[in-house]
Amino acid sequence: MSIRGLKMREGELTNAHQFPRIFEHLRRFLESSWEQSEFVLRPNSSSHNRKSLTPTRPHLLISTPHTMSTYCDIAPGHPFHGPYHDHEYGFPIEDDNLLFGRLILEINQAGLSWLTILKKKEAFQDAFDRFDIERVANYKNRDRERLLNNSGIIRNRLKIDAVIYNAQQILPLQDSHGSFLSWLDHHHPLPKENWVRLFKKNFKFTGGEITGEFLMSTGFLPGAHAENCPVFERLGPLNPRWMDT
Structural domain range at position 76: 38-245
Using CA atoms of 149, 180, 186, 218 in order, give the dihedral in degrees to the nearest 10: 60
Q: What is the pLDDT of residues 120-166, one digit of tens each?
A: 999 999 999 999 999 999 999 999 999 999 999 999 999 999 999 99
Q: Are residues 15 and 129 in the same domain?
A: no
Question: Cα–Cα distance between 71 and 78 in angstroms, integer?
Answer: 11
Question: Cα–Cα distance between 107 and 163 in angstroms, integer?
Answer: 8
Say if residue 175 is exposed, middle or buried (CB neighbours under 10 Å; 0-12, 13-18, 19+).
exposed
Q: What is the pLDDT of residues 102-123, one digit of tens each?
A: 999 999 999 999 999 999 999 9
- If pLDDT is split at 50, 70 and 90, which confidence band does 244 have? confident
Q: What is the pLDDT of residues 24-81, one digit of tens each?
A: 555 555 444 433 333 444 554 333 333 344 433 333 333 333 334 689 999 999 999 9
Question: Cα–Cα distance between 61 and 167 in angstroms, integer?
Answer: 32
Q: Are residues 17 and 66 in the same domain?
A: no
Q: Are residues 125 and 154 in the same domain?
A: yes
Q: Are residues 28 and 45 in the same domain?
A: no
Q: Are residues 47 and 7 in the same domain?
A: no
Number of domains observed in the structure of the chain = 2
Q: Are residues 141 and 28 in the same domain?
A: no
Q: Are residues 25 and 118 in the same domain?
A: no
* pLDDT reading at 15 higher than 60: no
Q: Are residues 133 and 243 in the same domain?
A: yes
**Residue 212: what pLDDT?**
97
Lowest mean pLDDT among 54-58, 82-86, 147-151, 210-214: 54-58
**Residue 245: what pLDDT?**
74
**Residue 16: what pLDDT?**
40
Residues 212-223, mean pLDDT to the nearest whole number = 97
Q: Are residues 107 and 25 in the same domain?
A: no
**Residue 24: what pLDDT?**
55
Q: Are residues 166 and 183 in the same domain?
A: yes
Using CA atoms of 226, 229, 234, 236 in order, give the dihedral in degrees to the nearest 10: 30
Residues 174-198, mean pLDDT to the nearest whole number = 98
**Residue 30: what pLDDT?**
46
pTM over cut 0.85: no
**Residue 8: what pLDDT?**
32
Q: Are residues 19 and 80 in the same domain?
A: no
Contacts of 234 (CB under 8 A, 6+ apart): none
Domain with residue 100: its CATH number is 1.10.340.30
Q: Are residues 29 and 83 in the same domain?
A: no
